[in-house]
Chains A and B, each alone.
Chain A
């Protein structure tokens, strides 16, 4: 990990209130593993508002050009500032952070289950796995079609996908969780990764547990430092001898779904 002042190559609208930022950063491209994130200072260098850095999953890498991208939704002060940055501006960030997702798998096939912005880390997993010649399938659910552009990215990667939207404007109408167990046999010969809102992960946990199927969840939590020093970003996890609080930025962001306790 390193602090970098890196040049923005593009920062374009990807959907309503959603942007994709491409950043020139050989250090990140060279070192990043699936599931890792960068921690960005979201104000000009002479300001301290917002005070804390903001974490963003690495969405994609283009090794040839030493470029990586993040996909982000404008939520508050920090992401608004980011959305106003232009090509040629720099971002101050640290990374890559978090533990890379364990090298998968014996099964060889990957199933990625995403909800909303949770697709961001899944996209990189998909890229890395597809580059390694693994078969990747995606099941993803959204409120509406604001992330429609993602379909194009998946097509380019040659990934199989099935989309769901609550309002029916994209793919099949409905919730992705309602269709997870459509084909339990398929689930069994895939390594499953999921990322999305807590409500979705809770349902997934329940459904997969019923069938005794394992999955890896990529989690988010409010962060203080992003580098493992403050113990601020913990999630509650079941362990043999009771519960434990583990850091999303250090032991995570990937956790065994069945071990996570969502209170």
Chain B
């Protein structure tokens, strides 16, 4: 296992004159398969809406990309409230993929997103591979406007007790296949920490033609009101996010990235530039900013500036230098 990792590290060294002394602005661009991003920071699905609100706080076109909330074929009302519960160093949510449906996104939100100028990753969701295919069909006409489609195979809030597609690698394969056969733009499969098969799921996604894996979606969690004996979320269980899940997310990133199956977009509890570096060192090619967007509305810009400063300070002129550099 370590062998493979070191091989990968050597490849990186070949491409990237990382430690060369230089006072130039560092090269922040990354490549995730066919997806080129100007920097590794991607806003996570469901925590950034379409970016319109965050545009009040900074120019969101500085981000590597923005992932939309997950869209389904038909509008979804989502789960009953309460949908949010704070926990130590994290939060539980049970939104349940509330969205207006893919058609409304294309008609009403895409134009504004294009204007805001960040690369668009369109997150989609379906109840089975057929439905995913139908959503993909709707995207055909606007595929030139988006840089990739992310398949949400991992939302813990729609099936009973947090089960999701990626519990079953053969389902992952079917869904990815269905979408890849419709769309000739890069497809990212988003996986969950809740099932013990990320490697098999990633293999399945690769075989079906996925370009990258993003992980992790939220971890199934729960909280109870001791006074009333009731769960604190309307949906009983929810998804845990924020700093509380960072160690889990890092481990999943490491475990998957060292297999060198597909490039990994790592996410889970990233709140500052050092968190970004941790994920990249553990093997991520790019990273997702999620819960931090709910609290620090200008986090994307701030983390980017901090990263650039750090690279300059360390005389590292290429952010790709970090990916997979973990020393074991």
Contact = CB atoms under 8 A, between A and B. Distances in A.
Interface of A: 1-3, 41, 48-53, 94, 221-225, 227-236, 243-245, 263
Given A53-B295, A229-B294, A231-B98, A48 B56 contact: no
B183 interface: no
Interface in B194-242: 242
Interface of B: 46-49, 53-54, 56-57, 69, 77-78, 80-86, 88-91, 93, 95, 98, 242-243, 271, 291, 293-295, 297-298
Contacts of B297: 3, 94, 225, 227
A245 B98 CA distance: 9
A228 B53 contact: yes
Q: Which of B47, B83, B98 has the most C-beta atoms of chain A within 10 angstroms of its own C-beta?
A: B83
A34 B164 CA distance: 43
A48 B81 contact: no
Nearest to B50: A229
Contacts, number: 97
B245 to A, nearest CB: 12
Question: Chain A interface mostly helix, strand, loop or mixed?
Answer: loop
Given A48-B89, A224-B294, A244-B77, 15 more contacts: A51-B242, A51-B243, A52-B295, A225-B295, A227-B297, A230-B84, A231-B46, A231-B69, A231-B95, A232-B83, A233-B81, A234-B78, A243-B77, A245-B78, A245-B80
B86 A52 contact: yes
Sort A-B residue pairs by CB-CB distance and give the 5 closest, nearest first: A225-B294, A232-B84, A229-B49, A222-B84, A227-B53
Nearest to B56: A1
B81 to A, nearest CB: 5
B142 to A, nearest CB: 22
Contact of B46 (A52, A221, A230): A230
15 contacts: A2-B57, A3-B298, A51-B91, A221-B81, A222-B86, A224-B83, A225-B53, A229-B53, A229-B294, A230-B93, A230-B95, A231-B95, A234-B83, A236-B81, A245-B80
B243 A232 contact: no
Contacts of B293: 225, 229
A227 B85 CA distance: 17
